[in-house]
Structures are given as C-alpha cells and as structure tokens.
Amino acid sequence: MQFKDNSVLITGGASGIGKIMARLLLEHGAKVIIWDIDESKTTAVISELSALGVIVGYTVDISSKKQIKDTAKKVKQTFGGIDILINNAGIIIGDYFHQHNTSNILKTMDVNAIAPMVITSEFLQEMLAKNSGHICNIASSGGLISNPKMAVYAASKWALIGWSDSLRLEMKQLKKNIIVTTILPYYISTGMFEGVRSKIPILNPETTALKIIKAIEKNKKMVTIPGYTYRFTRFAQAILPFNMFDWFAGSVLGIYSTMEHFTGRKK
C-alpha cells in the first residue's frame, strides 16, 4: 500500500504511537486525519506536525456511536472518504475483574472492541465501491494470552483479533482489493502502560510505530511485535498442560506479574 497522496485516518492519533504514526505518514506524503478524545493534545499535534503536510484533527469520543457517525460524515464531506484506516485508540483499567464497575467494563469494550467495528463500518462501503483500501487494527499480545489485572482489556483485544482477521477473510472471499492487517504488540513504553514491569523487553514507541507503518506498506496480514510472540505462544499453549503453561508464563517469563505495579497514564 502506497501512502503518498492517500488519506489516512488514525484513531488515538494525538499521543503515543498514534502521534508517531501520524508523523511517519506525513513524511511518506500521506494526508493524515487524527481522531482523539483530547482536544488540547489534538490541537498541539496539528500545530507541531502541520509543516510536514496535510493534517487535520477531530475531537471524538469513540465510545459514542453518534460521535463516530457524525465525525465520519464530516471526514467524508472534506476528503470524500479515506484510503487507510488505522484503529489505534485503546484504553486499559488495570484492576482485578471484581474491582471493575459496569461503566469501566462497558467503556473498555466500547473503545477497544466495538469502536473499531463501528468506525470501519462507516468507511467500508466506500472502500468496497472503489475496490480499494486498507484497514489496520492495533490489537495486543494481550489478545493471545490471559493475564491477571487485564481481564477486560484481554477480552476486548481477543474480540478485536477475531473480528479483524475474520474481516480479512471476508474481503479475500469476496475478491475485494481491501487489505486487513492485524497488529499484536507487546507492552509499549507509553503512558498507557506506565508502571508495567517485564522480563521481556518493553517495546520502544518509535520502533513499534515504524514496524506498523511498514506492515501496512507491505500488506501484511498479521504482525506480532516482537515477531516471535504469536508462534511461540500458540505452540506453547498447544503442547503444554494448563498448569505447566501457567508455570512457564508466570514463573519463567514473569508475564502474570507484569501488571502488579501498573499505574497507567496520568490524567
């Protein structure tokens, strides 16, 4: 997929890897549209990056179906649709499940799992009509392996992975030239995962964003970052009994204790 002169929508584009991807895409000659819930950060990013090319931003709470629909309409009126969609926005609470209230559960599922589907549905018909487009969904390695204090987050990412790859297969079955890429990164060193401690190296945001952009450019189907995560995890889950896998993931790799000191992004 070429980026030059194509319109790219990034959700959660005002911070973290979303902001980095916006810069990289502008450097590739793309027209960038960012959606973010934080108006001040969105304004700051546009001011910072506008010298690199065409970038516009919209303040959107993607847990609101109405805001998604209304903002998608504005984007279509301005750009006539989009060529590439990057569903990047996400949230995490980081508590044991019994500590979640109903609002936290629904908000996490709405932002991480439901919103990518609703946003995609707003733009997919135009992609189908022109038989061209690319949808990139940023999931998580948390969608591969269960983890304490990530129950709802993991559920949302498992859902996202299942929907994303099913959509890929549908486009293939329908013989449509619409590529779907699913990205499964490990913890990334952004404010979202502040406080996480891990034996496995935490990912650098710049490097991760660059790998995602390259995955889109090369029309990759599914990319785990680091690359060995998917095959290694699935193989270990397939051959090891539950208790042995839990021991290996928890005691050897230390995955089950990674969230013990989690604080998350400061408000």
- Any idea which residues carry the catalytic annotation? 153
Give the distance between the most distant pair of CA atoms in the chain: 55
Dihedral sign of CA atoms 226, 258, 41, 82 in order = positive
How many Å apart are CA 230 and CA 253, to the nearest integer? 15
From 152, 147, 265, 244, select the one nearest 200 (Cα to Cα). 147
Please state the length of the chain: 267
How many Å apart are CA 254 and CA 181, to the nearest integer? 29
Cross-strand pairs, 34:
10, 57
Q: How far is CA 113 from CA 35, 129, 178, 187, 257, in A?
A: 16, 25, 20, 18, 25
DSSP characters over 176-241: --EEEEEEEE--BSSGGGTT---SSPPBPHHHHHHHHHHHHHTT-SEEEESTTHHHHHHHHHHHS-
Token reading at 257: 């204790």
